[in-house]
Amino acid sequence: MWFKNARVYKLSAPLTTDIVALESALAEYKFSPCTGQEAVRTGFSFPLHPSIKQYCHQQAQRWFFAVKKQEKVLPAAVINEELQPKIEAAEQEQGRSLSRKEKQALKDDLIQSLLPRAFSRSQLTQGYYDVEHQWIVINTSSASKAEDMLALLRKALGSLPALPWLDNHKLNSHLQMWLAAEALPGTFQLGADVELKAPDEEGAKVRFSNHLLSADEVQTHLQDKLVTRIRLEQPEGMGLTMADDGGVKQLSYPDSITEQNDELGWEDLVTRLDADLLLMADSVNHALLAISKQVNALSDQEVPTS
C-alpha cells in the first residue's frame, strides 16, 4: 500500500467521477493471463485486495486503480543454447552462412515454440487520481512504465489529457536553489544525498551520499554543474529524492505515520489496507503539494538560477 516512488501527471480537464462509469471502463480492459503463445499481457486489476472485486476503489476524492503486467520469462542463455544448433544445422544444410535476417527468423520461431513452457512473471503497479488537484500519481520510478499505464487508462477512458506536473525549467532552477538551501518546499530540509552533472553532453558527474550537503566541497559544484537529483527530508516526517525529470523516488515514511493504524490490527485485512491507503495518499499528496506550489508558483518573475 505504501508507494515507494511517484510519477505524477497533471490533467488539463477533470475525469468523470461516476464510479459506475469508471468501473465499467476499467473492467472492459481487465487483466487476463497470457495464453500459450503470448509473451506479455497487461490489464487492470484490483487496487485494494483480490477479495474486493473492484477495478476502481473510491476513497473520498481519490480513485485508486492498478495495472497488472504478466511476462513470459525466457532467459537469453536458454534461447542461445537452443538456437545455436539450429543455426549450425541450417548452415550445413544450405552450405553457406545464414544472414542476420535468417538468424533472427530462426530465433523468433524458437521463442514462439518455447513460450508455452516458459515461466510467468507478474507485476502490479498502483496509482490514483486525485479529484481536488487533478493529478494522477503512479507508484513507479520508471517513466516508461508510467506512460504504459497512462496509455491503458487513455484506451479505457477514451481520452486522458495528462501533462507533466512540474515545469521542467523551473524545476531545474529550484533544484539548484534547494542544494544552496534556498526556497526549500514546505517543511522540507536538505537530506544527505545529491547528484550533479556538468551541462555538456559528456559532462562530469559527482555524487555525494550520507554527506553534509552544506559543506564547501559540495556547494562548489554548483558553479559548473546542475543538480540531477537531491534528497529532501521533513523533520519527523517524510523523505524523498527529487529527480530533474520530475520523478519522485525513494519515498520514506516515519513510524509516526505508518503506525497510526496499528490499533486496527490485521483481523479485518481490507479495513486495515484501506486505512493505510488513506494515510499513504494523504502523506504523498502533502509532499507533492509542497513541491508543486514551490516549483509552479504563480509568478511573472523567472526563478533565478544559481
Strand segments (E) across the chain: 7-11, 40-45, 57-59, 62-73, 119-130, 135-138, 162-164, 189-197, 205-208, 226-233, 239-243, 248-252
Work out the pLDDT band at 5, boundaries 50, 70, 90: very high
**Number of domains comprising the chain:** 3
**Out of 10-14, 37-41, 167-171, 227-231, least confident range:** 37-41
User: Does 109 lie in the same domain as 22?
Assistant: no
- For 178-198, write each residue's pLDDT tens digit: 999 998 999 999 999 999 999
Q: Average of pLDDT values for 34-59?
A: 91
- For 220-277, write each residue's pLDDT tens digit: 999 999 999 999 999 988 999 999 999 999 999 999 999 999 999 999 999 999 999 9
The amino acid sitting at 250 is Q
User: Does 106 lie in the same domain as 47?
Assistant: no
Residue 42 counted as domain residue:
yes
Residue 303 counted as domain residue:
no
How many CB atoms sit inside 10 A of residue 254's CB?
Answer: 15
Range of the domain at 131: 7-67+126-162
Residue 300 counted as domain residue:
no
Residue 301 counted as domain residue:
no
Order the strands of the 248-252 sheet from edge to edge: 205-208, 189-197, 226-233, 239-243, 248-252
User: Does 253 lie in the same domain as 210?
Assistant: yes
User: Does 137 lie in the same domain as 41?
Assistant: yes
User: Does 201 lie in the same domain as 154?
Assistant: no
Q: Is residue 305 pLDDT above 70, yes or no?
A: no
Residue 218 counted as domain residue:
yes
Of 162, 185, 217, which marks where a domain is finished?
162
Residues whose CB falls within 8 Å of the CB of residue 41, separated by 6 or more in sequence, listed in order? 31, 32, 33, 34, 69, 70
- For 80-92, write each residue's pLDDT tens digit: 888 988 898 888 8
Predicted confidence at residue 7, as pLDDT, reads: 97
User: Does 283 lie in the same domain as 144?
Assistant: no
User: Does 191 lie in the same domain as 274?
Assistant: yes
Q: Check: CB of residue 134 under 8 Å from CB of residue 84.
A: no
User: Does 273 lie in the same domain as 214?
Assistant: yes
Closest CA to 26 of 128, 95, 162: 128
Residue 302 counted as domain residue:
no
CA distance 238 to 251: 7
User: Does 157 lie in the same domain as 42?
Assistant: yes
User: Does 94 lie in the same domain as 37?
Assistant: no
User: Does 191 lie in the same domain as 53?
Assistant: no
Predicted confidence at residue 298, as pLDDT, reads: 43
What value does the mean pLDDT of the chain take?
Answer: 91
Residue 102 counted as domain residue:
yes
Closest CA to 53 of 40, 63, 62, 44: 44
Residue 231 counted as domain residue:
yes
User: Does 249 lie in the same domain as 133?
Assistant: no
